[in-house]
Chains A and B, each alone.
Chain A
Amino acid sequence: MRQQTFDETNEKTNNENNNLFFSKNKAILIVLVLFLAIFVKTIYLKDSIIPTATDLGHHMYWAKLISTTGQLPNYQERDIIENNGHYQISAPRKIDDFIIGEHLIFAAINLVSGLDFISAFPSLVLFLAHIFSLLTIFILTIRLFKNFENDIGDYSPILALLFVGPVFAISGSQAKFVSGGVVGNILGNLLIPLFAYFLTRALMEKKSLFMALAAFTALGLAYIHHLSAFILIFIFLFAVIIFLFSNIKRFFSFVQDWLKIILSWPVVLALIFATVMFLVYLPTYLNTTAIDTAVGHPEKPTRTGLSLPQIKYAAGETRLALALAAVIFLIFSQKIKNYPGALISGWFLAIFIMTYKPQLLFIDIPSNRIVNYLSFPTAILSALSASWFIHKIKNSDLGPAITTSAIGLLLIAVIAGGFYDNSQSLKTTTKMGPALETFAAARYLSDKTSSSDIVLKDHNYVLADAWIKLFFMRDYNFPFSRGLLKRYEDKFSKREMCTLWMISAPNLPSGEKCYADLGVNFVMINPRYDAGQFAKSKKFDAVYANDNVGIFYRNKKQ
């Protein structure tokens, strides 16, 4: 038998000590899972790759503004207001919802490549960020559980990748958010696990460089998505509280360890950089008004928390059950005292409580937005549960047939729900043809109008209407828009009614007054739904018609 050389033995030992070395079978499994994840998401995205999403249209306006002006934008918009019974267009007002980090990357790609915003590239950028977030979950899981029993440390990363990649691949914060253009959430879903990864390595390996990277990642998140940054604060607080509570006797010694890591040049430099950034350009949402809207006692029904069935539906029933079992396992095995245990439990519990009982934490944010953040910690914890189960079953006295069946049943229970969810999402397809007609109509109108013309469009029945503003680039709120009809009935937030009256009832006194006061002279609507009320009046000329968009001009001759 050939003896291994010293070099070969050395290489084998090095590989085994390397966390990113996998046996051939495991590597094939990882590649297969990733292939499946990318494949399912690609099949879904092929039917929604043409830009139509409202959120993405809003974000691309700002990205195009940066690209065309070469300057950071002033996030503001003009609105319709009422002043002593007279309607007028306001001066530009600040918008708190947008942050520079959501738009710079798209502007940069447009500037460098010349790619048009109305193309696949925005969705592909989000898709890439999403795939990176899955890979981050994978390497985070490796680091979190590498000191657990052999089987758990080996299986849990691959299972986490399986439970977050091809399973539940589309719904929630996955491919649907990519096609929906929920930029901040997608980037937040990348940076939250990345922060957790750097923090884990900083604390477990006592390396201040990783702590600096964690601080830098958190800073980046503050400039990219306010909701994700807000949630990160709670994740961090919950993790710290759980850790300190579990290690109360060694509280001071841990604090000393942390201070040693924090009071180091890399971290101090990162904090100085963060301070300078805040002084130069403070994120627009950091003001009392914006903070007041997110913090407080929730009153709207959409903000008072989701029921357990709703949370089960969002997170996946079996995944959620396994995740809760994992938290119990961490508590009873005392592993919650360790950094990984405290971090992943804190991450899960923070979001679970924010979703289920937000009033306990004075959270006043739509609960269905927060529940989207549950999928990643649930996937990691359910992978831990499943790995622990596999480890126990394999080391038991049950025969191979029962062992294999038990493991198979467990995996089927998780995967079946996820693939069923995928199949439901794949059934719904977006018709992209009408979007092209919207773009053509917008191009026509932008060519034929001047800065003195005021345009109104409809959001309810004109597809891809949020992208019309990219053809005008006059204001974020131009053209003005008749919003979702139910929003005009919202008793919690009073809205101007002109945009509703001018399309729904243009011939009634209320609509006519709005036209007279505001000077709106062009209206874009879907003729299948809204042409009738304009056709009845001699005050409107029908100047453009395609299958899905009609443009009316309010002539001054009548």
Chain B
Amino acid sequence: MSHKKIIAAIIIFLIISFGYLSFVCQKKLASAHWWSLSFVNPTGENINFAIDNRGSKKDFHWEVLSGQEMLGKGDIVVEKNSVWQSQLQIKISQEKKALVRVSSKDEKKEIYKNF
């Protein structure tokens, strides 16, 4: 049997293998099960925050606290693969800690700034 047929077989195997691995990679990059919480402006005094949802959970509950004082709260729906940003007009007193707490079902995340 000519070596050309062997080479053709190798090419076919490699195309299938590479195609499969590329597909798996794309699928894993696209399928995620996490969400993140972050300040829109991490260095300034603005405490507006963003929820980046990459998972299947859509319902989120947020709270903003300064010390023990509740400054705001709400429930939102953030679709998968989208980002929601708050539009708060809250001023934090000096020497207080502004805490943003977001929960979704049994998951909770917190970020904060020390003033």
A residues engaging B (CB < 8 A)?
Answer: 15, 20-24, 26-27, 30-31, 34-35, 38-39, 41-42, 45-46, 49-50, 119-120, 123-124, 127-128, 131, 135, 432-433, 436-437, 440-441, 444, 448, 522, 538-548, 551, 553, 555, 557-558
- CA A119 to CA B5, docked complex, whole Å: 32
Cβ of B84 < 8 Å from any Cβ of A? no
Do B54 and A42 touch (CB < 8 A)? Answer: no
Sample of 19 further A-B pairs with CB below 8 A, known A42-B20, A119-B29: A24-B1, A27-B5, A31-B6, A35-B13, A50-B25, A127-B18, A433-B34, A522-B42, A538-B97, A538-B114, A541-B111, A541-B113, A541-B114, A543-B111, A545-B37, A545-B38, A555-B113, A555-B114, A557-B114
Minimum CB distance partner of A539 in chain B = B114
Q: A128-B14, A135-B10, A444-B38 are in contact. Are A542 and B110 (CB under 8 A)?
A: yes
Q: Can you list 14 A-B contacts (CB < 8 A)?
A: A22-B6, A27-B1, A34-B13, A38-B14, A119-B25, A127-B18, A127-B21, A444-B36, A522-B42, A542-B111, A543-B113, A546-B109, A551-B42, A555-B113
The digit string for B1-22, where 1 denotes a CB below 8 A from any CB of A, is 1110110011001100110111
Given contacts A128-B14, A545-B36, A551-B42, contact A34 B9 (CB under 8 A): yes
List, in ascending order, chain B residues with CB within 8 A of A448's CB: 41-43
Q: A444-B38, A551-B42 are in contact. Are A49 and B115 (CB under 8 A)?
A: no
Inter-chain contacts of A544 with B (CB < 8 A) = 36-39, 42, 111
B26 contacts which chain A residues (CB < 8 A)?
Answer: 120
B105 on the A face (CB < 8 A): no
B60 within 8 A of A: no
Question: In the complex, which residue of chain A has the Cβ closest to the Cβ of B35?
Answer: A546
B63 at interface (Cβ–Cβ under 8 A)?
Answer: no
Q: A545–B51 Cα gap in the complex (Å)?
A: 10
Q: Given the complex of chains A and B, what is the CA–CA distance between A389 and B50 in angstroms? A: 70
CB distance from A165 to the nearest CB of B (A): 11
- Say yes or no: is B62 at the interface (Cβ < 8 Å to chain A): no
Out of A26, A436, A542, A558, which one reaches B112, CB within 8 Å? A542
Which of A24, A46, A441, A558 is packed against the most chain B CB atoms within 10 Å? A46
Note all chain A residues with C-beta closer than 8 A to B115: 557
Cβ-defined contact, A432 with B21, below 8 A: no
Please measure, in the bound complex, the distance between the C-alpha atom of A126 and the C-alpha atom of B15, giving whole angstroms. 15
Collect the chain A residues with CB atoms within 8 Å of residue B110's CB: 542, 545
Interface residues of B (CB under 8 A from A): 1-3, 5-6, 9-10, 13-14, 17-18, 20-22, 24-26, 28-29, 32-39, 41-43, 52, 54, 97, 109-115
Which residue of the partner chain B has the closest CB to A522? B42
The complex places the Cα of A543 from the Cα of B5 at a distance, in Å, of: 59
> Interface centre among A46, A440, A544, by most B CB within 10 Å?
A544
From A23, A45, A437, B21 is in contact (CB under 8 Å) with A45
Contact B109 A50 (CB under 8 A): no
Which of chain A's residues have a CB closer than 8 A to the CB of B13? 34-35, 38
The answer to whether B33 touches A433, judged by C-beta atoms less than 8 angstroms apart, is yes
Residues of A within 8 A of B5 (CB): 27
In the bound assembly, the distance between CA atoms of A444 and B42 in angstroms comes to 10
Bound Cα distance A497, B36 (Å) = 31
| Contact (A50, B1) CB under 8 Å given A544-B38, A544-B39, A546-B36 | no
- Inter-subunit contact A543/B42 (CB<8 Å): yes
Give the shortest distance, in Å, between A16 (CB) and chain B (any CB).
Answer: 13
Q: Given A45-B21, A436-B54, A547-B34, are A50 and B42 neighbors across the interface (CB < 8 Å)?
A: no
Q: Which residues of B contact A557 (CB under 8 A)?
A: 114-115
Specify which chain B residues have a CB less than 8 angstroms from the CB of A119 in the assembled complex.
25, 29
Residues of A within 8 A of B42 (CB): 448, 522, 541, 543-544, 551, 553
Chain B residues within 8 Å of A540, by CB: 114
